[in-house]
Chain A
């Protein structure tokens, strides 16, 4: 027999974001404004010395566009301009790819608008030999490592030159030569794999670190717990990044428990070094990644980094965020736009100006367009040519077994 709930039963809580469509954005609950400068313990410190850092926010670039505090990595203007270049390239690449997807040139696309500093900062702070286990919103890592843009586009177009032979959705890149692992569509699976990779590196003594990225929503997966447990138990040289961009498709971070504790503070329970970082601050992301890499390389174990940011655009081309969050939310994000912030910092330093910025934008737009023309010459998903049809039966096993060979013959290819 079922019973209607009593009117005074407490029921359970389903968290709600602070604002839905039509309401005023409100980020007051996010603890984004530490009152005192955030300390920087040495990378060789006890993990417990980092615990206060899990509940504050590491920032280098202030609202006055000046870099300050113990976390300032004191980068040269040249390095800062390189960071800006990577972020801007990511943004312009993404915008063009989105337009092309809308024109039917590819099946699917995902932008990283608003989060460009996370991939650019980490990508520049790590060594090329360090292994990357990314999620699907860190294409900036590829730009930081100098991957050929035409190759990236050929993958997204699933054409005959796609290095994945048309087997993966667009943006699910793999680039072994660039030490960039395969991006899975299943969330969080790469996190514990990254620890295994790091353990093999440690066993070999190759002095590399491994970095991986997941989103705030994915911290709910068992693989997050598995990765933290492995990283803690085996003290693996791994950097576990949680990109808290506030939204997992339509579910706000509170649906992953983000309202009750910071994602960085999850690391405390595992005894991991933990940092909570302004993800829209290129310098802070760079500095935190350097710190964690130094710690890992010294054999002192793993670091969990929460980068606090905001997914300024849709989750993917299949998503419409206006149905679940205020349109004005991105503009109201208190940590600003990562590209604008680094640009303004460079201008404040006298190392950049609007004219140079516009010239760079124009040059990048041209580069993206020219790359696309070239990539398209190798085919598109709709028009072909694709990788040869028999290739869909290859690489299931090292050698094609009899039953798959027969199935290929059944298809007549």
Chain B
């Protein structure tokens, strides 16, 4: 048994990398500013010093090259974990992800595979403007062949990163940067919360994993099911509490393949469902969830499924909180669904 320590999400990710680098000599970690400096958010801090430059190093500012280098290394027996500095910057690497990474096993009939992890901070709530706030997960959930995940707390962030590195599939992990230093309940005017007061901030220092493809019911309830992931998990919990709604809140954790069994069971019980994400609405991942819930749970539904999302605009800077799908919008959607 390893010790339990209070960790932020950044510390938990750092701890996961430390455990992986320690246990498996095939693991290496690289990215822009992710070597000597330890990453712009500090997720790789101290690791180069500990494991040396062959294991932890700086990469040139070329996301396509970073992904391609990781593919080549992974195909040649390594287990690279590459950091894309912001999810907003991942698009130069899109072709390597869509056309190469995701299909290598398929197009070679299993002769070559690329078991690697891409980690990237996503989401808003930090006044990052339109180039540091995106939640682009839906682009990636549309690609057969990669696993897409988004943890919502330090415990899951560490356990899922370890599971991802130990998986034989390529895994893309979006890390909600607003949660890096503390949970966020959707109220930007409150003082920042800390992970130290949160049960999921208690993280084992050693090796453990959180399985990919499994959702977590973070709060049981009977009146309505909230299906969400990332930052919005915390906003959903607080919104239900504020409105006194007996909501069952599901943290999806892995988006592809998602845990439909858990969702269907919950919606079967509550008969009402709201899908929530920070990303824009049109063709967002919520659309997939709603379609599948409708197909599987139609006869259990007592009201139309609603979704609460970011608007179909770029993420604004000054009007960040008008964009962010906060407590008011969640409470309205839950109330309307309950009254329908």
- Does the CB pair A196–B76 fall under 8 Å? yes
Binds A, one of B16-24, B91-99, B268-276: B91-99
Which chain A residue has the least Cβ–Cβ distance from B54?
A203
Per-position binary interface string of chain A over residues 180-208, scored 1 when its CB falls under 8 Å from any chain B CB and 0 otherwise = 01101010010111111111110110000
Q: Please measure, in the bound complex, the distance between the C-alpha atom of A395 and the C-alpha atom of B145, giving whole angstroms.
A: 8
| Candidates B76, B96, B145; contact of A396 at CB < 8 Å | B145
Q: Mark B95-113, 1 if CB is under 8 A from A, else 0.
A: 1100110001111111111
* Complex Cα gap A186–B106 (Å): 15
Q: How far is the CA of A233 from the CA of B30 in the complex (A)?
A: 14
Q: Which segment, of B63-71, B123-131, B132-140, B238-246, faces chain A?
A: B63-71
Total interface residues on A, CB under 8 Å, equals: 44
Bound complex: CA of A181 vs CA of B213, how far in Å? 30
Q: Which one of B96, B108, B145, B256 has the greatest number of beta carbons of chain A within 10 Å?
A: B108
User: Chain A residue with minimal CB distance to B110?
Assistant: A395
B167 touches A395 (CB 8 A): no
Residues of A within 8 A of B76 (CB): 131, 196-197, 200-201
- From 202 to 217 in chain A, residues with beta carbon under 8 angstroms from any chain B beta carbon are 203-204
Q: Is A164 an interface residue when CB atoms closer than 8 A count as contact?
A: yes
CB distance from A167 to the nearest CB of B (A): 5
Considering the chains assembled together, what is the distance between the CA atoms of A404 and B144 in angstroms?
9
Q: What is the CA–CA distance of A233 and B78 in the complex, to the nearest angstrom?
A: 20
Residues of B within 8 A of A226 (CB): 60, 62, 64-65, 68
Assess whether B147 is interfacial by the CB under 8 Å rule: yes
Which residues of the partner chain B approach A186 to less than 8 Å between Cβ atoms? Answer: 95, 99-100
* A227 interfacial contact with B, CB 8 Å: yes
Q: Are A182 and B64 in contact (CB under 8 A)?
A: no
B187 proximal to A (CB < 8 A): no
Find out whether the CB atom of B69 lies under 8 angstroms from the CB atom of A192.
yes
State whether A195 touches B69 (Cβ < 8 A).
yes
A200 and B99: CB pair below 8 A? no
Judged by a CB distance under 8 angstroms, whether A12 is at the interface is no
Given contacts A167-B106, A174-B107, A395-B105, contact A181 B99 (CB under 8 A): no
CB distance from B61 to the nearest CB of A (A): 9
Q: Is the CB of A227 within 8 A of B109?
A: no
> In the assembled complex, which residues on chain B have CB atoms less than 8 Å from the CB atom of A195?
65, 68-69, 72
Shortest C-beta distance, B108 to chain A (Å), equals: 4
Report yes or no: A197 in contact with B95, Cβ–Cβ below 8 A.
no
- Contact between B100 and A196, CB atoms less than 8 A apart: no
Chain B residues whose CB sits within 8 angstroms of the CB of A398 once the complex forms: 105, 113, 167-169
Q: Is there contact, CB below 8 Å, between B64 and A196?
A: no
B217 lies within 8 A of chain A by Cβ = no
- Flag whether A165 is at the interface (Cβ < 8 A): yes
Residue of A nearest to B96 (CB): A189
Is A174's CB under 8 angstroms from B72's CB? Answer: no
Q: Are B108 and A182 in contact (CB under 8 A)?
A: yes
- The 0/1 profile, CB within 8 Å of B marked 1, for residues 150-181 of chain A is 00000000000001110110001011100001
The answer to whether A181 and B69 touch across the interface, beta carbons within 8 angstroms, is: no
Q: B92 near A200 (CB under 8 angstroms)?
A: no
B260 contacts partner chain A, Cβ-Cβ < 8 Å = yes
B72 contact set on A, CB distance < 8 A: 192-200
Cα distance A225–B78 in the bound complex, in angstroms = 24
- Within 8 Å CB of B92, what residues of A? 222
Q: Which of B62, B69, B105, B257 contacts A199 (CB 8 A)?
A: B69
**With a CB–CB cut-off of 8 A, which chain B residues contact A182?**
104, 107-108, 111-112
CA separation between A68 and B234, bound complex, in Å? 75
Contacts of B169 in A (CB 8 A): 397-398
Which of A164, A191, A233, A403 sits near B107, CB closer than 8 Å?
A: A164
Bound form: Cα–Cα A318–B69 in Å: 32
| Cross-interface CB contact of B99 among A176, A189, A230, A395, cutoff 8 Å | A189
A192 in contact with B65 (CB, 8 Å): yes
B60 contact set on A, CB distance < 8 A: 226, 229-230, 233
Contacts of B77 on A, CB cut-off 8 Å?
Answer: 200, 204
A397 vs B113: C-alpha distance when bound (angstroms): 10
Interface: A223 (CB within 8 A): yes
A316 CA to B241 CA, complexed, in Å: 64
State whether the Cβ of B301 lies closer than 8 Å to any Cβ in chain A: no
A-B contacts, 28 of them at CB < 8 A, read A174-B108, A174-B109, A174-B112, A176-B112, A181-B75, A189-B95, A189-B99, A189-B100, A192-B68, A193-B96, A195-B72, A196-B74, A199-B69, A199-B73, A201-B76, A223-B68, A226-B64, A227-B68, A395-B106, A395-B110, A396-B105, A397-B145, A397-B147, A398-B105, A398-B113, A398-B168, A401-B257, A403-B257
CB-based closest 4 A-B pairs: A196-B72, A226-B65, A192-B68, A196-B69
Interface residue ranges, A against B (CB under 8 Å) = 131, 163-165, 167-168, 172, 174-176, 181-182, 184, 186, 189, 191-201, 203-204, 222-223, 225-227, 229-230, 233, 395-398, 401-404
